[in-house]
Amino acid sequence: MTLSSLPLVFLCSLFCVIFSSFCYCKSLSSVTIDSLRASLEKQEDFIVFSLIERARYPYNSFAYDPSFLGNQNCSFVELFFRETEAMEAKFGRYQNPEELPFFPDYTQPPLAPPHRFQNILHPPAASVNVSRRIWDMYFNDLLPLFTKKADDGNYQQTVASDLICLQALSRRIHSGRFVAEIKFRDSPQNYIPAIQAKDSETLMKLLTFTSVEEAVVKRVFKKAEIFGQNVNLGKNYVKESESKYKVEPSVAAKLYQEWVIPFTKQVEVGYLLRRLI
């Protein structure tokens, strides 16, 4: 059996285990801003690869049409997510504080004994959640940028690829909770006045490091450039109409610059505003 022959839902869970990262498996003292940044850098690889996987299929608009399934009152992709997340919840995926379901109302407590995850989050602040914004951004803004406007009828593989992309993006963006917690613990005096004043603008300024953000965007562009090249054996194999890349590097860079980084900082601000509760 080859990797490509495995069901994509299984691959999604497998990759989650491989790339799921930082906070629950270490002692609190070993979690630092540097260790978090190293983890986030590794997650860039998986996000780029997940975009490349999704780009194998056209847009397939029927998968997102609520009328396609008749009396289900939801789209194919929504039903797929609900059923998949319900199954994963039974086996404890969402006991991991890094993981948040897109449809929590359809999940149930796990059947297996829960793993004792090391959770550094402040409980009242851990509820910060931008899943709906991520969902809307992905389908309305991102997906049309790198998929062909066509329909091949392969909706199962299509939405399974969407699942991989969205779970990776959610994990990366909601990691802002962990980043905010460590920053607060390292320098509480920098944040407490703005938190007490409920000053979101000042908190955003404290959390913004333009040079770091620019470096992240450049690195993601380079990774998409390297990972996503279409390899041709010679001039006879090159078609002028073909892109050099499976996903244009500019799309990956735009994803981070316009959505991943801003959404992550919004999560950080939302977390800090609840940190003293």
We report the CATH number of the domain holding residue 169 as: 1.10.590.10
The pLDDT value recorded for residue 118 is 80
User: Could you give the CA distance from residue 195 to residue 201 in angstroms, rounded to a whole number?
Assistant: 11
DSSP character at residue 239: -
**Pair of tokens at residue 138:** 């992905």
Question: Do residues 97 and 1 touch, judged by C-beta distance below 8 A?
Answer: no
Range of lowest pLDDT (3-17, 127-141, 182-196): 3-17
Distance (Å, rounded) from C-alpha 135 to C-alpha 204?
A: 23
- Rounded Cα distance between 94 and 86, Å, is 10
Residue 229, beta-bridge partner list: 245
In a domain, 236, yes or no: no
* Rounded Cα–Cα distance for residues 256 and 164 (Å): 17
| 157 contacts 57 by C-beta, under 8 angstroms | yes
Residue 224 domain flag: yes
Count CB-CB contacts under 10 A for residue 234.
Answer: 6
pLDDT bin (cut points 50, 70, 90) of residue 70 is confident
Number of helical H runs and strand E runs in the chain: 12, 0
pLDDT of residue 59: 98
Asked whether the predicted pLDDT for residue 241 surpasses 90, the reply is: no
pLDDT tens for 168-180 read 999 999 999 999 9
Asked if the structure places residue 235 within a domain, the reply is no
Q: For residue 211, what are the domain limits?
A: 33-106+119-229+242-273
159, part of any domain: yes
User: Is residue 67 in a domain?
Assistant: yes
Higher-scoring residue by pLDDT: 241, 116: 116
pLDDT for 28 = 55
- Tens digits of per-residue pLDDT, 2-35? 444 444 554 455 444 444 444 444 455 578 999 9
Q: What is the DSSP letter of 245?
A: B
Whether 260 shows a pLDDT value over 60: the answer reads: yes
Q: How far apart are CA 192 and CA 89, in angstroms?
A: 36
Eight-state DSSP code of residue 110: -
pLDDT, position 243: 73
Would 252 be classed as within a structural domain? yes
For 2, residues 6+ apart whose C-beta sits below 8 A from its C-beta are: none
Sign of CA dihedral 137, 140, 145, 146: positive
Residue 2: inside a domain: no
Q: Choose the weakest-confidence range: 39-48, 66-75, 215-224.
A: 66-75
- What is the DSSP secondary structure assignment for residue 229, as one 8-state letter? B
Number of domains comprising the chain:
1
The answer to whether residue 5 is domain-embedded is no
